Structure 1
Amino acid sequence: MSRPSELLVVDGYNVIFKSSRYMAVVDETAGEGDPFDRARELLIADVAAYAQGSYDAVVVFDAAGNVSPDRPNLGKAGIRVMFSQAGESADSVIERLVTGARLQPREVTVITSDNTIRATVGGIPVTRVSSDVLVANVAHMNADIGRELADRTHAKLTLEDRLDARTRARLDELLGRS
């Protein structure tokens, strides 16, 4: 029987408040809407890209101060999204997820810079990672993707340009261009 993939638990608002990437899309003029909708969506998309194939990821948000505290727990982009219940902290949800994984036993990585959570969930088989590390890894990943797209955009699409050097030299020889 195969072991379950490693659980990645992300302290959602902790990461959002630690990064200008996410804070830049917080809409303070949302009126009656939730100003954090776009920041949460961006974080979930980033976690999905970061976790792909390596983790079973869950992003936990604290519903205590949200515009709509009765949010359903649902998945987006292959990521489980959980909101704490009214009167419950996201910290409690994270601790419960980690405890459940330990009982399986299952490896867990928790991404947060909250020292209380880091102290509470520490120990084997839990890896604690700072929110700053996730933000930096996402930035590197996005830069790599940007470079790859730029390379593809600038690549010539002729058959000649797609030939390896050895084949191209042989073809030049046959055509008398050497």
Structure 2
Amino acid sequence: MAKRSHHELLVVDGYNVIFGTPRYEQLIDRPSPRQLDHDPFDRARELLVADVAAFAQGRYEPVIVFDAAGNVNPDHPELRRAGVRMIFSPTGVTADTVIEKLVTDCRHEMREVTVVTSDNAIRATVGGIPVTRISSSMLAHEIDVLDDDREQARADRSHGRLTVEDRLDAETLAKLNRLLGRK
């Protein structure tokens, strides 16, 4: 019998999202020729990991797959950061292949999976039950909504305790209003 996981798997096509959305693309560094050991994608990947962690919270087990197929270094460890598993495809293997395998494994486990990519080839390959597909721009939009909600909650918390009226319980406030002739 197939084992069922508690959380749905969220598989994000990392570089597809980074290159497909201004939120991340603007963070790609253009290193000078003197910065040979500089990874221009560090800041974009860090923000993507943080955003995926916030988006996935409590609902998904998040995995971001990065295409490292063209790299000459065969050592690409699987990393975890902020509860997000990051997989760099091995040399000679595309991120598409890794994503397809993750989806196939979920199908065998009868586990729901959501794939985030705007790559039409992957979307066509992994489509069908139990797979939900979300475009890169839709994920960015959902993250913007989360950011707006967090900012509003932060503003509400910081404003909510500034006045004496906000600090009083309902009974005390009613007594004060009666003393002041307010109803």
Structure 2 length-normalised TM? 0.87
Cα separation, 2, equivalents of 1:57 and 1:116:
21
How far off is 1:54 after superposition?
Answer: 0.4
Classify the secondary structure of the residue corresponding to 2:30: coil
- Which consecutive residues of structure 1, in runs of 5 or more, have no partner in the other structure? none
Q: 3-state DSSP class of the match of 2:62? A: strand
Question: Hey, what does 1:17 align to over in structure 2?
Answer: 19
Q: 1:128 aligns with which of 116, 127, 133?
A: 133
Question: Is the 8 Å Cα contact of residues 4 and 111 (structure 2) preserved in structure 1?
Answer: no
Mapping of 1:13-92 within 5 angstroms?
13-29=15-31, 31-32=35-36, 33-66=38-71, 70-92=75-97
1:164 Cα deviation after fit = 5.2
Tell me the matched-pair count: 176
- Contact kept in structure 2, 1:63 and 1:70, CA below 8 Å: no
Change (3 A) 1:52 1:107: same
- Give 1:5's aligned residue: 7
Output the CA distance in 2 between the equivalents of 1:164 and 1:124: 52
Length-normalised TM-score, structure 1: 0.90
- Kept in 1, the 8 Å contact 2:4–2:109? The answer is no
* Amino acid paired to 1:82: I
Name whichever of 70-79 and 47-56 sits farther off.
70-79
Shift of 1:159: 5.5
Give a deviation string over 1:112-135, Cα, whole Å, max 9, x none: 000110011111000011111000
Higher mean displacement: 52-61 or 22-31: 22-31
Q: Counterpart of 1:95 in 2: which secondary structure? A: helix
Q: CA RMSD in A?
A: 2.1
In 2, distance between residues paired with 1:67 and 1:138?
34
Separation in 1, partners of 2:6, 2:64 = 18
Q: Which amino acid aligns with 1:77?
A: A
Structure-2 change in CA distance of 1:107 and 1:150 (3 Å):
same
Deviation per CA, 1:71-130: give whole Å up to 9, x if none.
211110001100000000000000000000111110000000001100111110000111
Between the aligned residues of both structures, percent identity stands at 58
Which residue matches 2:119? Answer: 114
Give structure 1 regions of 4+ aligned residues with deviation exceeding 6 angstroms.
none
Find the residue that maps to 1:169 and give its secondary structure: helix
